[in-house]
Amino acid sequence: MPEGDTVWRQARNLHRALTGRTVHHTSFRFPDSAEIDLAGETIHGAFARGKHLFIRIGSMSVHSHLKMEGIWHVYGTDGTGKPARWKRRTTEARAVIKANARLDSSGVVRDGSSPVEAVGFNLGMLDVVPTEHEERFVSHLGPDILGADWNLAQAVENIRKRPERMIGPALLDQKNLAGIGTIYRAETLFLAGVDPRSTAAAVPDLPRVVEIASLLLNANRARPLRVTRTVAEPLWVYGRRRQNCYRCTSPIVREELSDQGTDGERFGITPHRLAQENDIARLSYRCPTCQVLFRE
């Protein structure tokens, strides 16, 4: 899954490129939306809510979720005035929104403006619904770290509703708080000095853990390169399996972590391989020395 800052940046780029334009043509390559064409409608803007992305067109909203491989591109015209060539295969396109050049108040094309098209490749979800129905896709989400509704106290309260749960899976649960993926989970817990297998109830300062996550996402949301350490060595632990910890030199541990434990050990009587289908294991990185295992 993408991190919340990735979706935020894509929504920002779409908003800047499309807002105020009139749709020339749309093509939605999902069964339930295939017959919909929003040609002639005005594009009101784009925004992210957690890991969900919305584009408002006329009275409708285009909702998408990137899942594992999705991405939105914006294309203008080349030097000859023809539409720029896509950087991905046409077979990967799931949504195409072609928009006219921007016009001034008298209906004349603004200087420097040209048609654009937004293309959603490999989208995991795509829906076109009346704007008043947007909430059905995001009503289950907790406070959005990068959203106007961010509420640290509420996020902490949500996590504490299941005190026996490990903090690693709890931070990825979008019902608790929206926006954290495996990268920010690993980096947040390292900086907090907390082992991801610690129970939520045992974490000494849970608000501080959530605050670190918020600081990291907000610091990186507008950056082209995600950095939690230095530009030369951008991440503390994520993606650094068996490499020495920058602080203590212990080898970084990588494992799959779910509510049932890890792929390398048992928690209680249920091994990870017998986890329920909806208990999805996700990659976890930690320093075995710098991060303390808190259990109750």
Annotation marks residue 51 as catalytic: yes
Taking CA atoms, 191 is separated from 15, 43, 168, 213, 232, in Å, by 33, 41, 14, 9, 18
Question: Is 3 considered catalytic here?
Answer: yes
Q: Is 221 left (phi over 0), alpha (psi -120 to 50) or beta?
A: alpha
164: annotated active-site residue: no
One-letter amino acid at 161 equals K
Sign of CA dihedral 129, 174, 119, 18: positive
Among candidate residues 2, 143, 169, 196, the one labeled active-site is 2
The C-alpha R_g of the chain, in whole angstroms, comes to: 22
| 175, amino acid identity | K
Query: Is the CB of residue 45 less than 8 Å from the CB of residue 53?
Result: no
User: Where does 148-295 show beta strands of DSSP type E?
Assistant: 253-258, 261-262, 265-267, 270-271, 282-286
Task: Please pick, among 9, 51, 94, 240, the residue that the annotation labels catalytic.
Answer: 51
- Give 103's strand partners: 109
Catalytic residue flag (residue 256): no
What the block records as the tokens of 27 is 């093509």
- Residue 27 CA to residue 60 CA, distance in Å, equals 14
- Considering only CA atoms, which of 87, 65, 92 is closest in space to residue 75? 87
For residue 14, the SS3 value is: helix
Question: Could you give the residue ranges of the DSSP H alpha helices within the chain?
Answer: 4-18, 135-138, 152-160, 167-172, 182-192, 206-220
Active site residues: 2-3, 51, 282
